[in-house]
Structure formats: C-alpha cells, structure tokens
Amino acid sequence: MRQKPEPIERCLCDVIHEDVVNQVKDKMPEEETLYDLAELFKVFGDSTRIKILWALDEAEMCVCDIAALLNMTQSAISHQLRVLKQAQLVKNRKEGKVVYYSLDDDHVKQIFDQGLTHINED
Amino acid sequence: MRQKPEPIERCLCDVIHEDVVNQVKDKMPEEETLYDLAELFKVFGDSTRIKILWALDEAEMCVCDIAALLNMTQSAISHQLRVLKQAQLVKNRKEGKVVYYSLDDDHVKQIFDQGLTHINED
DNA sequence: TGAACATATGAATAATTGTTCATATAATAT
DNA sequence: ATATTATATGAACAATTATTCATATGTTCA
C-alpha cells in the first residue's frame, strides 16, 4: 500500500524451497490482474456499499430511497453510488429529477453467495 | 465507517416509493451478516493479500518464501498472514522454526474466479 | 423567471490501514 | 549457554477513505 517494491532480506528457506517458489512465480497472473482484482473486492469491502448492492438486487431504486432505506444522508449514498458506478457494478437511468440505480452485473449475487458460504462455515 | 446511524432528510420519493422501499427493507439480511460480508471482502481488497492467497493456492509455503516471492519484507508478510488467518482463509503448521501456510478455504479460488469474470467483462 | 426538489461534488475531517523499524519469541545447532 | 535462524508483534507513520457540510447542477412546476 505504502510504496513500491523494495530491497529484501533472504533466508535459507529461499534456497531450500527455490524450486517451489520459482514454480509458483511462473504461475502467478499478471501483477495488474491481481491489482484489479483487489480493487474490485475493495469495492465490496464496505458495508454501506454491500447494503446498496443488496438492495439494488431486490429492486431498482432512486438515491433518496436508498438513503431512506439505509438511514443515511443523500450525500453519503451519492458518493458511494459513484464508487459502485466506477466499478461498473451499478448503472443508472434518469427520469426527470430522479435518478434510478440498478445492478449492472450478473455476478454480484454470485460473489455475495460465495462470501456467505465462507462466513457460514464452521 | 465513521460513526453510527444518524438523523435523516426525507424527500417525496420516500412517500411515492414507500411500498418498494419497505419490501426491500423486509428482505434485507441481518445487519450483522452484511457487516461480516463486507469484512470478508475487505480482506480480499488488498493486492498483497490477493497475491498471498493466489500463491498459497498453488503451493504450501513458509513465510520467508512468500516474502521472497513477492519481494517484500518478512514482517509485512507476517502481518498480512495474521489478517488472513483471522479471516480463516489460511491455516498453518509448524515444522521446527519454519511455519508453513496453506489455504483453509475451498471457496477462495471460486471467489477469485467470480471477481475475474467481472473484470474481464466488456 | 423563480422556487422547490433530486442529485452530484469538492473540501475538510476523523478513522482505518499497510508497511517499516525495532524488538520479542521460539527453535536449532554448536 | 550462546549464536543463529524463522517468525511474530507493537508502535509509529503515511496514505487512504467514508462521511459530513456547504454548495453546485439540473429538472419541474407555478
């Protein structure tokens, strides 16, 4: 998070396990792919956004509806909808003054379900 | 994130859409469930941890192996492994001085895949 | 045109968080 | 015992972020 890759300490394991480490290194996806993946999950990593997504999976709603539902300010919701939009998880349509938001991704529910499966384990 | 639920502004939509909002409200899962879900995704929302999980999905590795693989300090990795352990995503076994970490969850790869599917869209 | 309403947005702030540094703990070998 | 190695951990710091507040934008209606 802080800064870019840095000098490094070595230990004996690195020699002993060199083969395994190199094999894994070869199999690792692109740095950028993993970064994007983390960025996506970061969007899911906030309970306000989770609630918004969950709500929008039930029904299309306008900004102030969501604010009322979650008992939060319009501004806070609007800021979060912006984040969700940038992540292409929600889309919107304008009807007069009112902007209706809905899910823009079929996998949202599936990602939730995988998460819930983990939580509900043991 | 900051503090607890707060007073709220109302708008006309709340009256017009009252039924929809109430229906959604009834269907929403427990507050705690959604919070836990967000906490779980928060763990996935860091590229260092994503890399660690990805690596461990390929092979069991010790702390300094992971540090070497990712070109990061042992301390940074150790801190992150702690987070992953608390989320019950990894487990470890001790062999002398060396601590080997491995995945403790079958769904990690599936959660990754759902995320990747989203990223690779459009 | 002006008032009212719905939404968006920029700046400020408080809280959270990832990494570093120093050091502690634990195991092994000499 | 002592030195060495592998890992864990607490404090500190910098960076990020969610919400609030004030205000701007855009739409409708009188």
Q: From CA A48, how far away is CA A70, in angstroms rounded?
A: 8
Q: Do B20 and A61 touch (CB under 8 A)?
A: yes
> Quick one: closest CA in A to B89, which residue?
A118
Q: What is the pLDDT of residues A77-102, one digit of tens each?
A: 999 999 999 999 999 999 999 999 99
Chain B residues with beta carbon closer than 8 angstroms to that of A104: none
Give the rounded distance of the alpha carbon of B33 from its chain centre. 14
The residue type found at B16 is I
Helix (H) or strand (E) holding A62: strand A61-62
Spell out the long-range contacts of A74-77 with Cβ–Cβ below 8 A and sequence spacing 24 or more.
Answer: A74/B9, A74/B11, A76/A48, A77/A48, A77/A52
Q: Is the pLDDT of residue B10 over 80?
A: no
Q: From CA A32, how far away is CA A34, in angstroms rounded?
A: 5
Q: Which CATH architecture has domain A45-119?
A: Orthogonal Bundle (1.10)
How far is CA A51 from each of CA A11, B1, B85, B96, rounded to the nearest angstrom? 45, 13, 26, 46
Q: How large is the average pLDDT for residues B31-35? A: 96
Q: Would you tell me the crossing angle of helices B63-70 and A18-27 to the nearest 10 degrees?
A: 50
- Angle B82-B108-B32 from CA coordinates, rounded to 5°: 70
Pick the CATH number of B12-119 from 2.40.110.10, 3.40.1170.60, 1.10.150.530, 1.10.10.10: 1.10.10.10
Which member of B45, B48, B55 has the closest CB to residue A41? B45
Mutate to test the interface with B, among A64, A80, A97, A99 (most CBs of B within 10 A): A64
Residues near strand D (C-beta below 7 A) are A 1-2, 11-13, 42, 45-46, 48, 72-73, 75-76, 79-80, 83, 94, 96-97; B 1-3, 6, 62-64, 74-75, 78-79, 81-82, 92, 97-100
Counting residues of chain B whose pLDDT is more than 90, the rounded percentage is: 80
Complex ipTM: 0.91
CA of A56 to C1' of D24 (A): 27
Query: How many residues are given for chain A?
Result: 122
Domain boundaries, chain A: 45-119
Counting residues of chain B whose pLDDT is more than 70, the rounded percentage is: 92
Q: How large is the average pLDDT for residues A54-74? A: 96
Cβ-count burial A100-121 (b if 16+ within 10 Å, e if not): bbebbbebbebbbebbbebeee
